[in-house]
Structure 1
Amino acid sequence: MSHWLFDLGNTRLKCARMRHGGGLEEATAFGHDQAAFVDALRRHLDAHQASGSACLASVASPALSAGVLEVLTARFQRISVARTQPRFAGVRIAYAEPARLGVDRFLALVAAHARAARPQLIVGVGTAVTVDLLDADGRHLGGRIAPSPRLMREALQRAAAQLPAQGGRYREFADDTEDALASGCDGAAVALIERSRDRAASLLGQVPALLLHGGGADALSPHLPDADSAPSLVLEGLAQWALAGIPGPRR
C-alpha cells in the first residue's frame, strides 16, 4: 500500500509519496493560481497510480480544501486530515486553544523536533512569514506572523500602481526604486527573523538553530547564511502524523 502526503497552503499544494519508515520521495508543487488546479492534481495522481492512504494538512479555504478532498476520496481508501494537537510526538504547543495555531506551523514544529532535540527557531516563508520558537524539550514558546516580502510588494502595488510587484535585487542602500523595494521588503523579513533570534537567545541562554522552509525561503537564505534549509518541513511533520496512525475516514 502506498502512502501519500498533501500540504495545502494559501498559495500552493505540495505533495509527496512517503517512503517506508517516514522518508519522502521528491515533492511536487501546484500553485492555486494555475488554471484547472484540481485537474492538474488529478492527472498527477493518475500518472503515479496513486492509491492506498493519504494524509492532508490544509490552511486553505474550505472550498479549496473540499475540492482537494474530493480528488483524494476518489483515489485513496483511507484519508486522514491533520489537526493541531496540544501535545504530539514530543512537542507541546504554546497556544491555549490549539485550533488557533495553523496546522502547517504545528507540523513544522513536529518535524523540527524530530530532526533534532535542540532549541530551534522555525521560520516559514510563504504568503506570510511565521516564526516559532521551540526549546530542546519540544516546548513551543510561541511565535510571530508577518506579511511575506511577496505580500508586502503586492500590497504596495495595490496602494500605488506605479510600484512594481516584482523585480529588483537586494542592496543595503539602493539607488533605484526596484532595488529599494526588494531591499526593503526582504530586509524587513530578515530583520524580523534576526530580532526574533536575538530575543530567543536572551530567553534560552543560547542561540537557537535557525530552520527555514516555505516557497519564499530561498530568497532570504543568502542573508541568513547559518540557516538550515528544510523545503518540505511541513510534509516531514505530516509523515510523523501518518506514522502515528491517527484514524481517518474510510470510504
Structure 2
Amino acid sequence: MLLAIDVGNTNIVFALCEGAEIRHRWRISTDAARTADEYGVWLHQLMAMNDVPRATVTHAIIASVVPQTLFNLRGLARKYFGVEPLVAGAPGFAWGLPIRLPNPAEVGADRLVNAVAAHAEHDGPLVVIDFGTATTFDVVAADGGYEGGVIAPGINLSMDALYRAAARLPRIAVEPPPEGQGAIGKGTVHAMQSGVFWGYVGLIEGLVERITREIGAPATVIATGGLAPLFGRHTGAIHAVDPDLTIKGLIRLDAANRVAA
C-alpha cells in the first residue's frame, strides 16, 4: 500500500492508497518543527483505529511546498515503515511532462502533481484551480505540458487580513450571503460576505477568462482544495471539482517513477 503525503502551507494530507484507490486520508496542521516520532505516533494511532497494520505500507511518496518538513517526513517513512520515500522534484525524479518555464525549479511540487493528474483524466487545454493557502491557477496544454499559471492570495488569507486590519469588522465564515439577499449588503456581515465571496467568484471568472483568451482556445477548468466544492456550485467557470486531485497525481507519479527505477 502506498503512503502518499501532500504537504501544503497550512495542512499535510496523509493518504493510504491501494492501486488507484484512496483507502484512507487524514489531515494534520503543517508544522515544520514536528518530529518524525510525533508524526509516527499520530499516524499509527489513526491506522490502528482503522485496523490498518503498519506492515501494509510498502512504499511512500512526498510532495511538499514546505522544504523544512522533508527531513522529518523522510524520517517517518524510514523509521516507522522501513521504506525510502520518493520526493517529488528531487534529483532524478521524472515528472513525465514538459515544464515550459525558464526556471522549472520555481514551480511548487503540488502544482505539477495536479497538472499530471488533471491531464490523465481530462482532454484538451486545462486550467487547474487549487484553493489552498494561496489560490493557484495552472495551465496545462493539450499535450500535458505545464505552461505556467497565476498565484493569488487564498480567500482565508484575505479574510484574516481584513479582520486583523479593520478594528470594527468581525471574523466571518467563507459562505455566500443568505439565499434571497443580493450583492448589496444591508449590514456589516452581509456586506463582508458579499465582498469576500462574490469578489472571489469575480476573481475566478476574470482570471479564467483572461487565461483562456491568452491561450486562444477553450479550456476545461478543474478545481481542487477544500473550498473547491463551494465555489464549484456558484460559478459556471468551474467545469469539474476533484478534491483528491493531488493524491491522484502522487499515485500516478509514484507508479511511473518506480517502474523507471
TM-score, normalization: structure 1?
0.85
- In structure 2, the partner of 1:181 is 192
Describe the shift of the 1:123–1:163 C-alpha distance in structure 2 as closer, same or farther (beyond 3 A): same
- In structure 2, the partner of 1:117 is 123
Equivalent pair of 1:168/1:181 in contact (CA under 8 Å): no
1:232 aligns with 2:244: yes
Describe the shift of the 1:155–1:135 C-alpha distance in structure 2 as closer, same or farther (beyond 3 A): same
1:57 aligns with 2:63: yes
- In structure 1, the partner of 2:23 is 25
1:68 aligns with 2:66: no
Equivalent pair of 1:86/1:92 in contact (CA under 8 Å): no
1:147 aligns with 2:153: yes
Distance in 1 between residues matched to 2:205 and 2:4, nearest whole Å? 32
- In structure 2, the partner of 1:244 is 256
Q: How does 1:1-251 map to 2 (within 5 A)?
A: 2-20=1-19, 22-32=20-30, 38=39, 39-45=41-47, 47=49, 48-50=52-54, 51-60=57-66, 62=68, 64-76=69-81, 77-83=83-89, 88-89=95-96, 91-167=97-173, 169-171=175-177, 172-225=183-236, 226-246=238-258
Distance in 1 between residues matched to 2:58 and 2:211, nearest whole Å? 42
Equivalent pair of 1:4/1:16 in contact (CA under 8 Å): yes
Gaps of 5+ in 2: 178-182
Q: Percent identity?
A: 28
- 1:3 deviates by 1.5
Equivalent pair of 1:210/1:228 in contact (CA under 8 Å): yes
Q: Aligned partner of 2:116: which letter?
A: V
Equivalent pair of 1:119/1:134 in contact (CA under 8 Å): yes
Distance in 2 between residues matched to 1:233 and 1:209, nearest whole Å? 15
Cα RMSD (Å): 2.5
Distance in 1 between residues matched to 2:66 and 2:17, nearest whole Å? 22
- 1:46 deviates by 5.1
Moved more, 174-183 or 120-129: 174-183
- 1:66 deviates by 3.0
- 1:241 deviates by 1.2
- 1:86 deviates by 10
- 1:152 deviates by 0.5
Describe the shift of the 1:87–1:243 C-alpha distance in structure 2 as closer, same or farther (beyond 3 A): closer
Distance in 2 between residues matched to 1:98 and 1:55, nearest whole Å? 20
- 1:197 deviates by 1.8
Describe the shift of the 1:96–1:74 C-alpha distance in structure 2 as closer, same or farther (beyond 3 A): same
Distance in 2 between residues matched to 1:173 and 1:199, nearest whole Å? 26
- 1:81 deviates by 0.9
TM-score, normalization: structure 2?
0.82
- 1:78 deviates by 2.5
Gaps of 5+ in 1: none
| CA offsets 1:97-134 (integer angstroms, 9 cap, x no match) | 22210000010001100112311110000101000111
Describe the shift of the 1:32–1:243 C-alpha distance in structure 2 as closer, same or farther (beyond 3 A): same
Describe the shift of the 1:26–1:183 C-alpha distance in structure 2 as closer, same or farther (beyond 3 A): farther
Distance in 2 between residues matched to 1:168 and 1:82, nearest whole Å? 32
Describe the shift of the 1:61–1:162 C-alpha distance in structure 2 as closer, same or farther (beyond 3 A): farther
Q: Aligned partner of 1:29: which letter?
A: R
Describe the shift of the 1:204–1:86 C-alpha distance in structure 2 as closer, same or farther (beyond 3 A): farther
Equivalent pair of 2:175/2:197 in contact (CA under 8 Å): no
Q: Aligned partner of 2:25: which letter?
A: A
- 1:154 deviates by 0.5
